[in-house]
Amino acid sequence: MAADLPFEKALEKLEKIVQDLETGDISLDDALKKYEEGIKLSRACQQKLAQAEKKIEILIKTPAGALKKEAFSPEDADEGAEDAPKRKTASKNRPATDDEDLLI
């Protein structure tokens, strides 16, 4: 059942279950049932996210089959892969500063 739900609905149900369990106003039996349903929903959501990630990896592969290592941004979706602007990134050892623009 959980696997049949769209991701957004499954996540919404999972959030409701978490809220119900956090309040503590339910019996132990009901809490166990909700917990079990929550686990199923969580696994279904994780599976749907993994499938989406695989699809995205397929879509962003280069013609040679290598995976592009650039970060994706919504602006890049409107442009061709070769036309996408190169972005400055901060070094792993130093944070970005205010004077470093995102675009070159």
What pLDDT score was predicted for residue 91? 46
Residue ranges of domains in the chain:
2-59, 67-104
Kindly tell me the burial class for residue 21, based on how many C-beta atoms sit within 10 Å of its own C-beta (0-12, 13-18, 19 or more). middle
Q: At residue 89, what are phi and psi to the nearest 5 degrees?
A: -130, 150
* Domain at 2-59, CATH from 1.10.3720.10, 3.30.930.10, 1.10.287.1040, 3.10.129.10: 1.10.287.1040
What pLDDT score was predicted for residue 80? 44
What pLDDT score was predicted for residue 85? 41
Those residues of the chain that have pLDDT short of 50 are 77-92, 94-104
Q: pTM of this prediction?
A: 0.57
